[in-house]
């Protein structure tokens, strides 16, 4: 997903939460913000980003898993993009 498309998606998701069209918990909001920051600006992540997750009750394993999943998704996408892999057309069922 292009950076501007991702930013729009994340902003819409978080704004919709305020309108209660999507009911995100404060923990889910923190996870979305963490994943967005790690994806778009990984070099600027700080201890404060991790502490924001801890403040929502996530333990070290949950934080590690979150980081790993976000990083793996980025890795796989960069491999696919780097090799020019086209998305498959989904058959309509």
pTM value is: 0.74
What class has domain 3-82?
A: mainly alpha
Could you report the per-residue pLDDT of 55-77, keeping only the tens digit for each? 999 999 999 999 999 999 999 99
pLDDT-above-90 percentage for the chain: 59
Question: What's the token pair of residue 14?
Answer: 């978080």
Rg (CA), the chain: 15
Q: Is the pLDDT of residue 21 over 60?
A: no
């Amino acid at each position: 997903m292009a950076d501007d498309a991702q930013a729009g998606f994340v902003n819409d998701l978080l704004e919709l939460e305020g309108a209660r069209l999507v009911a995100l918990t404060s923990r889910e909001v923190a996870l979305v913000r963490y994943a967005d920051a790690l994806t778009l600006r990984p070099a600027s992540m700080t201890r404060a980003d991790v502490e924001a997750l801890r403040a929502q009750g996530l333990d070290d394993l949950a934080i590690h898993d979150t980081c790993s999943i976000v990083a793996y998704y980025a890795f796989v996408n960069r491999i696919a993009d780097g090799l020019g892999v086209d998305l498959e057309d989904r058959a309509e069922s």
